[in-house]
Structure 1
Amino acid sequence: MSTHRAVVLSKLGAPLTIEHLPTPSPTSGQLLVAPLISPVIAYQHALHSGERGNPLTFPLVPGTSTIGRPGDLVLIDPTLRGRDNPGVTSLQALYRMHPALDNTWHNGSWAERFLAPLENSSRLNEASLLGPKSAGARGYTLGQLGAITQLLVPYGGWRAANLRPGQTVAVAYASGAFGGSAIDVALGLGAGRVIALGRRNETLLPAIAALKSPYPGRVVPVVVTGDIKQDADAIQAATPGSTGLDPDATLVLMGGVRDNISLPYQPIMFKNITIKGRFMYCKEWVDELVAIVEAGSVSLERQQVRCFSLDDHAEAVEAAKNDAASGRGVVLTPVVEK
């Protein structure tokens, strides 16, 4: 096809429109993908309005990752990495961090065709993931496969923390899409107990309810108030035999927090606490998680996903905003297979 349909954002605060764009011809190291599933993130509305403050290139085709076809079914990782310098990174269609990457790859996957770096593709075992349970396959839907990119972020955090089977871990905060995914991944990797921290019972308890049945006793909700002593006592009560952050523990900082934080120097020093920052994940970890999902160690069974057509992009953005606390996913389906 010489042209294809795409959702376009002309500038911050402008309405999204459907336009016909020239279909690019991939060159060496590039992959032209027909997106079947393109996730809509919970803060997509704030990204487009400018409230989020992410630097972007315009005009922009949104969409930070995809499950699609250049032939075989593949996952496209949205984390761009410099080929000559892996320390140079950016997030495709989400956060402009380096001109050399963004000038080539700034458009995303809310389109009938999507140009991606070849090295960002991971082949998916379609028969194993989408085949019927009666045949011994997982029986997932395409929409559920879209959750893999959401699981990747906390997987990067747990890999950075060197999570080992049987350990007790805490997720702050556990409600919402990424918090719930962090619990899913921790349990799949063998965590003995997950302390799920949240600000309000009315959002925390529904978010972890689906995990309590398959993992009885391993997910413990704790509502935090902001009172340091009260919260510390509540966390210790949820971890019998522990004093909270035990000696040689690891704290991994992830997410889009913009403010600085203060840390208690002496407890960190005396307890030999390791503190790490982790931006996304390494490329090889993508293939690791895909293999773990294909093996069934991390399940997509509980993933609830609402699908919207490319023409219904505005409704999809609104649904993602409204469903943020529930952990339910929202995706666009730019190309529908017959």
Structure 2
Amino acid sequence: MKAAVLEQFGSPLTVETVPDPVLGTGEVVVDVVAAGVLPYAAEVFRGERQYLLTLPVTPGSGAVGRVRTVGPDATRLRVGDWVLCDPTIRSRDDALAPDITLQGLSARGQGGLRLQEHFGQGSFAEQLLVPTENAFPLGAIESADAGQWCALPLLLVPYGGLLAAGLRAGQTVLISGATGNFGSAAVEVALAMGAGRVIAPGRNEKMLAELERRFGARVRTVPLSGDEDTDRERMGGTASDPIDVVLDLLPPSAGTTPVRAAAMAVRESGTVVLMGGVGMLGGSDLGLPYPWIMRNNITIRGQWMYPREANTQLIRLAQRGLLDLRHFDITTFDLDDADAALAHAATDGGRFSLTVIRPTTPG
């Protein structure tokens, strides 16, 4: 099969003929029809984000495609079924704290690197090998719409954070980093989950206006000044109701000031979920005050990615029309143009714009 290969960090992707994946028990091989390209993928493949990724590798995190072959443990998947391939692969030998690798992107620790030895090859290829439990049926979809369904791996990340927060219908949620790629997706997901109001702070006033235009009165935007106390007061005043949940999705390039301003805008007995990349490249610690956390009964938790069942739940939200994938504009590239797709995603991807590689056309 054909696949794009990263030989070393900083080198261009080369499209090569590589061996077809070999099916084993507990696995599924999928013909990849569409694979999304993350806006920061080029940073990862240049080595700038210092992700754990064993080279050489076929990159690509997540895909939509059709089942090619299934193992003996699959009792409902059939050859030809449309599926979402979840890139979050978990080891099966520790139910409480499984090791995790993000297929074709990164790993968490040495256990994740061991998973990469078998499941490390990603979706910028004609075929993809995934664990059986990572292939989620989509039902009957049109081939032309496969790129649209590539929005799901992006939307799953903030969905995992909002599930961790226990967001309930009617509550007010503040999305820290709302003008970014994951943050703007989080606004849509929160509304689909029934949030009564979404507070969207950010510095990009054009994107703030776009969020209001797309989603209407349930979204309240807050232009950030950079002064922590001022911004916290603005967030609380804009909300009008107490802020029940804060979800932080700011990237590694952001400082701690906007994170702290947003977190401390949460109400007494509220929940703060930290899911972004602040501090990953060095810098100051967040420094939330102990007395404030304790006396106000604040719940603070970290969340990396999402639980497995989130895939099925989010697919249902999209199938029922509560989550509208048509918000995303799609730009498509052939597999032979994988490097051009990376460049396009870096400059034009994100914020309701998806860059997609289409390695195969289903029969």
Secondary structure of the residue that 1:22 maps to in structure 2? coil
2:84 aligns with one of 40, 50, 75: 75
- In structure 2, give the amino acid aligned to 1:141: D
Q: Mind listing any 5+ residue stretches in structure 2 that lack a counterpart?
A: 68-79, 244-264
- In structure 2, give the amino acid aligned to 1:14: S
Instruction: Map Cα deviations across residues 204-255 of structure 1 (whole Å, 9 max, x no partner).
Output: 323x14523xxx3100111112211110121122111438411111000002
Instruction: Tell me how far apart the structure 1 counterparts of residues 185 and 53 of structure 2 sit (CA, whole Å).
Output: 26
Secondary structure of the residue that 1:13 maps to in structure 2? coil
Give the Å deviation of 1:116: 1.1
Secondary structure of the residue that 1:301 maps to in structure 2? helix
Instruction: Tell me how far apart the structure 1 counterparts of residues 94 and 316 of structure 2 sit (CA, whole Å).
Output: 27
The equivalent residue for 1:155 is 159
The equivalent residue for 2:75 is none
Q: Is the 8 A contact 1:65 1:108 kept in 2?
A: yes
Give the Å deviation of 1:57: 0.8
The equivalent residue for 1:30 is 27
Instruction: Tell me how far apart the structure 2 counterparts of residues 20 and 306 of structure 1 sit (CA, whole Å).
Output: 25
The equivalent residue for 1:306 is 331
2:178 aligns with one of 174, 177, 202: 174
Instruction: Tell me how far apart the structure 2 counterparts of residues 152 and 199 of structure 1 sit (CA, whole Å).
Output: 24
Q: Is the 8 A contact 1:60 1:107 kept in 2?
A: yes
Instruction: Tell me how far apart the structure 1 counterparts of residues 241 and 154 of structure 2 sit (CA, whole Å).
Output: 33
- In structure 2, give the amino acid aligned to 1:41: L
Instruction: State the TM-score, normalizing by the size of structure 2.
Output: 0.85
Q: Which moved more, 1:43-52 or 1:91-100?
A: 91-100
Instruction: Tell me how far apart the structure 2 counterparts of residues 178 and 200 of structure 1 sit (CA, whole Å).
Output: 14
Secondary structure of the residue that 2:239 maps to in structure 1? coil
Q: Which moved more, 1:253-262 or 1:307-316?
A: 253-262
- In structure 1, give the amino acid aligned to 2:302: G
Aligned length, in residue pairs: 321
Q: How does 1:291-302 map to 2 (within 5 A)?
A: 291-302=316-327
Give the Å deviation of 1:325: 5.5
Q: Which moved more, 1:234-243 or 1:117-126?
A: 234-243
Secondary structure of the residue that 2:126 maps to in structure 1? coil
The runs of 4+ residues in structure 1 deviating greater than 4 Å are: none
Give the Å deviation of 1:45: 0.9
Instruction: Tell me how far apart the structure 2 counterparts of residues 329 and 24 of structure 1 sit (CA, whole Å).
Output: 27
Q: Which moved more, 1:40-49 or 1:220-229?
A: 220-229
Q: Is the 8 A contact 2:172 2:242 kept in 1?
A: no
1:114 aligns with one of 101, 114, 128: 128
The equivalent residue for 1:136 is none
Instruction: Tell me how far apart the structure 1 counterparts of residues 155 and 222 of structure 2 sit (CA, whole Å).
Output: 22
Instruction: Map Cα deviations across residues 37-69 of structure 1 (whole Å, 9 max, x no partner).
Output: 101000111111111111111111010110011
Instruction: Tell me how far apart the structure 2 counterparts of residues 28 and 337 of structure 1 sit (CA, whole Å).
Output: 25
Instruction: Tell me how far apart the structure 1 counterparts of residues 335 and 125 of structure 2 sit (CA, whole Å).
Output: 8
- In structure 1, give the amino acid aligned to 2:274: L
After superposition, the CA RMSD in angstroms is 1.7
Secondary structure of the residue that 1:149 maps to in structure 2? helix
Q: Is the 8 A contact 1:251 1:276 kept in 2?
A: yes
Q: Is the 8 A contact 2:107 2:116 kept in 1?
A: yes
- In structure 2, give the amino acid aligned to 1:75: L
Secondary structure of the residue that 2:361 maps to in structure 1? coil
Instruction: Tell me how far apart the structure 1 counterparts of residues 213 and 153 of structure 2 sit (CA, whole Å).
Output: 20
- In structure 2, give the amino acid aligned to 1:187: L
Q: Mind listing any 5+ residue stretches in structure 1 that lack a counterpart?
A: 132-139
The equivalent residue for 2:54 is 57
1:94 aligns with one of 105, 127, 130: 105
Instruction: Map Cα deviations across residues 19-41 of structure 1 (whole Å, 9 max, x no partner).
Output: 00111220111111110110100
Give % identity. 38
Give the Å deviation of 1:189: 0.6
Q: Is the 8 A contact 1:177 1:329 kept in 2?
A: no
